[in-house]
Amino acid sequence: MRLLLTLASLAAVVGVAATSATAGTSPTPSNSSCSFPSQSQVFSPFGDSRAYFLAPGANFEGSIGGWTLGGGAAFATGNETSYVGSSTDSHSLALPTTSASATTPTFCVTSNAPTFRMFIQNHGNLGHIDGQLAVYLNYAGADGETQQVKIAALTVKSTNWTLSPSISFIQYISTPLQSGYANISFTIKPNDNHGNRRIDDLYVDPYCSR
Ligand SMILES: [Ca+2]
């Protein structure tokens, strides 16, 4: 009996170690389901009546704990001018330099053709305003390692806040979605030095096909 207990204890320790190692290298699901925050038709003023949820902290109105910011990316005063989240919103995120980058916290999506949209404003840089803002999708590949793929390059040539098109990313995560859901994050950063941008109100539509 004592030997069996010892073996059982060892197996438990090995299991914990394996889980910890995986968690350090990929956004592995922490439970067996994926539930969404509350959804609303935030883009209905733009003719888009689908229901969306706010990506974690992506209105930049409170804590953005869990976001990874680099290259001068920072909270900025001033909200996107449609105030789709709340009329009292007052902040956005600045991506002022070529090296600026922002990565959302990891969150889950399901296989129901998720898409997202966000607001972008561009003040230009070096006399140019024609640059692209790149969006990368981060997800756990079949080997458990984090994979990154560019899913969009957005051009906004206006100091007015502009709503992005609906961006689909389900085609890149068909393998992890075989379990019914996938844990993902987005990295947003300039593609070149022709931009000085702000972003705000990044919302995810979890049921685009419905
Ligand atoms: Ca905001």
Domain ranges (residues) in the chain: 18-27+48-205
Spacing, Cα 77 to ligand 1 middle (Å): 9
Spacing, Cα 86 to ligand 1 middle (Å): 8
**pLDDT: which is higher, 156 or 30:** 156
Spacing, Cα 132 to ligand 1 middle (Å): 22
pLDDT at 210: 55
What is the SS3 assignment for 162? strand
Q: What is the mean pLDDT of residues 175-200?
A: 91
Spacing, Cα 85 to ligand 1 middle (Å): 8
pLDDT at 20: 31
Spacing, Cα 58 to ligand 1 middle (Å): 8
Minimum mean pLDDT range among 4-13, 100-109, 122-131, 184-193 = 4-13
Question: What residues does the ion ligand 1 have nearby, CB within 5 Å?
Answer: 59-60, 79, 89, 200
Task: Work out the pLDDT band at 189, boundaries 50, 70, 90.
Answer: very high
pLDDT at 32: 56
pLDDT reading at 137 higher than 50: yes
Spacing, Cα 136 to ligand 1 middle (Å): 21
Task: Work out the pLDDT band at 175, boundaries 50, 70, 90.
Answer: confident
Q: What is the mean pLDDT of residues 194-210?
A: 87
pLDDT reading at 164 higher than 70: yes
Q: What is the mean pLDDT of residues 192-200?
A: 90
Task: Work out the pLDDT band at 209, boundaries 50, 70, 90.
Answer: low
Spacing, Cα 123 to ligand 1 middle (Å): 17
Spacing, Cα 172 to ligand 1 middle (Å): 28
pLDDT at 111: 84
Which range is most confident: 20-24, 95-99, 115-119, 179-183? 115-119
CB 162 within 8 A of CB 118: no
Q: What is the mean pLDDT of residues 158-166?
A: 96
Spacing, Cα 44 to ligand 1 middle (Å): 17
Spacing, Cα 145 to ligand 1 middle (Å): 32
Please state, for a pLDDT cut of 90, what percent of the chain lies above it.
Answer: 61
What CATH code would you report for 18-27+48-205?
Answer: 2.60.120.260
Spacing, Cα 80 to ligand 1 middle (Å): 6
pLDDT at 207: 85
| Residue ranges of E strands in the chain | 53-54, 68-70, 74-77, 91-95, 101-103, 107-110, 115-122, 133-140, 146-154, 162-163, 167-168, 181-190, 197-205
The residue to which tokens 């030997």 are assigned? 3
Spacing, Cα 41 to ligand 1 middle (Å): 17
Q: What single-letter amino acid sits at 149?
A: V
Spacing, Cα 40 to ligand 1 middle (Å): 16
pLDDT reading at 157 higher than 80: yes
pLDDT reading at 78 higher than 60: yes
**Residue 14 belongs to what H/E stretch?**
helix 2-23
